[in-house]
Structure 1
Amino acid sequence: MKELSENQTIAVHGIAGAGSVVFATAFTYPLDTMKVLIQVGSTTGKQLDAAQALSRVVFLSGNAGLYSGFGWLAVGRIFGLGARFGVYEILTAFSKDGREDNYLFPSEALLAGMASGAIETVVSSPFELIKLRKQVTSASYAPSPNFALENGTRKPLIARLLNGSGKPPAVSSVRRPSDIITLEGWSTLWRGIRSGIARDSVFGGIFFSTWQFLHQAMLDWKAVGMNPPPRLNEDVGPLSPFTVSLTAGFSASVAAAASHGFDTSRSRSQCNVLPKHMSMERKILKWKRPGNKFERMTGIHPLDRNVLFHGIGWRMARTGLASSMIVGSYLFVADQLTSILT
């Protein structure tokens, strides 16, 4: 009976978590599409504004274009956030072990959040790359499938590129998983991993440490005036779901602002098509990454220095709103399912 109860608890939290992630992702996905298009469509001399990005998507793909690639991001976020929170809970359990009140210092939350963010990048990277290319395709003039054939004499574009001839195609022509793997190789699914790890490590560390700090501050505020004064955090009682969700949203917005430069670098690198023969040439010629030491470590291309913060407002809005919705809907659904089962 006890084992059945534990399985029900796991199932409840799993369903609530997956449902809240899909719901929040669907609600905020157009914001993500706008963010991506501004990031990859801007140049040093000119930034693509929101009106231009929106009109281009609607003109070429209709309103549905704002949700191009949604399924890939939804699945990737379920696995990615599961890895992030799972690793975070495991790491912080070691820090809280032996403490009577299960207190966690913000510095400990920072380190655990950085580690969990790095794991999230590895898990979600393939889904994010395919999602991004579909988003870019929604605002691009995509050629017909037979555009590389002329009177039946030319080979398809991908076949020509695999033989080392021709220029790299546009990203809109290499958006399906099979095309990406065939032309660029499996490793492409983790392109931009350096900037991705930097982004999610910074995001995870700032998100969890800020959330922990604010959570403790709200507990201390709630404890003011209680008689007798609570000795442990558990004696204060739970905070309202609304307050917790707002705190999560604020923490996510701050973390998004701090890590946005790495997000832009990752988006722009994933938008580049690099055929296998070009990758091989770089290895043979011992090609070195351009930029200073920091840029090489984090995967930032020096040509992107002046566009790193384009689209920051859209990412802060999307991330903050999505985090609030994930936490709020998760607490609500979990509470409802638990009350039904009990």
Structure 2
Amino acid sequence: MDEQLKTITTHAFAAATAVSLGSAISYPLDTIKVLIQVGSGTNKPLTTAQILGRVQSISGNSGLYSGLGWLTTGRIAGLGARFGVYEILTAFYKDGREYSYVHTGEAFTAGMVAGAFESLLSSPFELVKLRAQVNSASWTPRSTVSAAAAAEKATISGLVERLLPGNLPNMKTLNQSVNLLATLGGPKQTNMIDSVRKYPWMMTGSGRPPSITDVRSPSQIISLEGWSSLWRGLRSGIVRDSIFGGTFFASWEFLHRVLITWKAVGMESPPESDEDVGPLSPIAVSLAAGVSGTVAAAASHCFDTAKSRSQCIVLPKFLYMERKFLKWKTPGKWFERQTGIHPSDRNILFRGIWLRMARSGSMSFVVVGGYLLGIDLLLPK
């Protein structure tokens, strides 16, 4: 039992180390990709050079690694769920078969289910990570904001400060609202201004939320937007990770079959099963994983853009309650509503696709290669 526990611990340590290494190496590509996705408009495409220049001028080179810890934690949990669920499902497929073989279609189905589980676990970490990345390229005139906040502090109630941190009141909208309500008259007219100030949507001008730079830590997000906001963009995230997982494992299984067949051709006697072929080269397996990750990233990228843009929106709890009360209908066609794509993002869904393909391919190569290398070094042969 002690030996089995030691083996499991070694595998877990090697996997976590490989994921951490892969995340650190590919993270600058992820930061640039995210900033292109959330910063680009239909008529305003951003280039890699522009993103690099802005991040370096505001946060320095360290800005490219903002949120790395959150991504690494989410990746360890997410990839553990992806490969764990995949192994469990494929074990049912292989049960009763003479040889341990998984068809490409079965690998695709199991990968889609595994990707959905991965999305559920990693979504909160991705949200905080994305907010940190956007903050690294966002310049806020702190001195101006502080002076204005000090001038208006006497007119802001504690309730508004708690609900809308870092957001200044729109006095023009407040005065217009008071003037409209003042025509009603009544004995309590003198207290109308103080009463109106208790409602955040009256103070901010039609419910305009704070800047994303002021709502980026987990405590701020939960306080202003609620616990459910940690899974914002879940629909597009599940579709993205399901397509990614299915394409990744189907491609990897196909390439694995090609490598085994290629190795079997050079053997003197034809092998009866895959076990007779022997283990494949770690470099070949890592390259197969890298190619599979690149293909899977290309297939699921448009949903990655939709998720990134939705996570970049600050939606306070009172606005969410208003939309729910008024039965606000999500815009877009049926497919867009079901997959979480906003109709205004139709022309920018493929922005940053080459960066994501490079990031996913390099990370998959490093994770699989690092895991195999770690097992080879830590476990006795």
* TM-score past 0.5 threshold: yes
- Number of aligned positions between the proteins: 338
* Stretch moving more, 150-159 or 286-295: 150-159
Indicate yes or no: 2:260 matched with 1:219: yes
Q: In the alignment, what sits opposite 1:176?
A: 217
In 2, distance between residues paired with 1:177 and 1:250? 35
Counterpart residue type for residue 83 of structure 1: A
Paired position in structure 2 for 1:47? 45
CA offset digits 1:182-212 (Å, max 9, x no partner): 1100000000000000000000000000000
What corresponds to 1:231 in structure 2?
A: 272
In the TM superposition, what is the alpha-carbon distance from 1:142 to its structure 2 partner? 3.4
Gaps of 5+ in 2: 165-198
CA deviation vs aligned residue, 1:252-274 (integer Å, no higher than 9, x gap):
00000010000000000000000
Unaligned runs of 5+ residues in structure 1 are none
Q: Which residue of 1 aligns with 2:184?
A: none
CA distance, structure 1, for counterparts of residue 312 and residue 50 of structure 2 = 19
Question: For the Cα contact (< 8 Å) 2:163–2:223, is it kept in 1?
Answer: no
| 2:220 is the counterpart of 1:163 | no
Per the alignment, residue 60 of structure 2 pairs with 62
Q: Which deviates further from its counterpart, 221-230 or 175-184?
A: 221-230
Alpha-carbon distance in structure 1 between the residues aligned to 2:237 and 2:29 = 20
- Tell me how far apart the structure 2 counterparts of residues 15 and 291 of structure 1 sit (CA, whole Å): 45
Where 2:223 maps in the other structure, the secondary structure is helix
- Partner of residue 119, structure 2: 121
Q: Over aligned residues, Cα RMSD in angstroms?
A: 1.5
After superposition, give the CA deviation of every residue in 1:71-107 in whole Å (9 maximum; x if it has no partner).
0000000000000000000001000011121000000
Match of 1:21 among 19, 22, 25: 19
Alignment of 1:135-150 (within 5 A): 135-142=133-140, 144=142, 147=146, 149-150=149-150
Aligned pair in 2 of structure 1 residues 94, 177: CA closer, same or farther (>3 Å)? same
Residue 225 and residue 27 in structure 1: after superposition, are their counterparts in 2 closer, same or farther (change >3 A)?
closer
| Matches of 1:230 and 1:31, distance apart in 2 | 43
Per the TM alignment, residue 229 of structure 1 is displaced from its structure 2 partner at its CA by 0.8
CA distance in structure 2 between the aligned counterparts of 1:225 and 1:198, rounded to whole angstroms: 41
- Other-structure match for 2:297: 256
> What is the one-letter code of the residue matched to 2:305?
T
User: AA paired with 2:339?
Assistant: T
Offset of 1:153 from its aligned partner?
A: 1.4
1:144-191 deviations in whole A, cap 9, x for unaligned? 497372234144765354833312111111001111001100000000
How far the C-alpha of 1:326 sits from its partner, in A, is: 0.3
Please state whether the residue corresponding to 1:122 is helix, strand or coil.
Answer: helix
Aligned to 2:183: none
Task: Work out which of the residue numbers 32, 35, 38 in structure 2 matches 1:34.
Answer: 32
Per-residue CA deviations over 1:283-304 (Å, capped at 9, x if unaligned) read: 0110111111110110000000
Deviation, 1:141, is: 1.3
- In the TM superposition, what is the alpha-carbon distance from 1:143 to its structure 2 partner? 5.2
What is the DSSP-based 3-state SS (H/G/I as helix, E as strand, rest coil) of the residue aligned with 1:291? coil
For residues 186 and 149 of structure 1, what CA distance do their matches in structure 2 show?
28
Q: How do 1:75-114 and structure 2 match up within 5 A? A: 75-114=73-112
Same amino acid, percent of matched pairs: 59
Single out whichever of 40-49 and 162-171 deviates more from structure 2.
162-171
Q: Secondary structure at the match of 2:150?
A: coil
Structure number with greater Rg is 2
- Correspondence 1:324 to 2:365: yes
Letter of the 2:13 counterpart: I
SS in 1 for 2:270: coil
Q: Equivalent residue of 1:290, what SS?
A: coil
Q: Does 1:4 align with 2:5?
A: no
Change (3 A) 1:242 1:154: farther
Query: In structure 2, how many angstroms separate the alpha carbons of the residues matched to 1:329 and 1:265?
Result: 31
* Alignment partners' CA distance in 1, 2:137 and 2:13: 34
Out of 266, 287, 296, the residue aligned to residue 328 of structure 2 is 287
Secondary structure of 1:99's match? coil
Deviation >6 Å, runs of 4+:
none
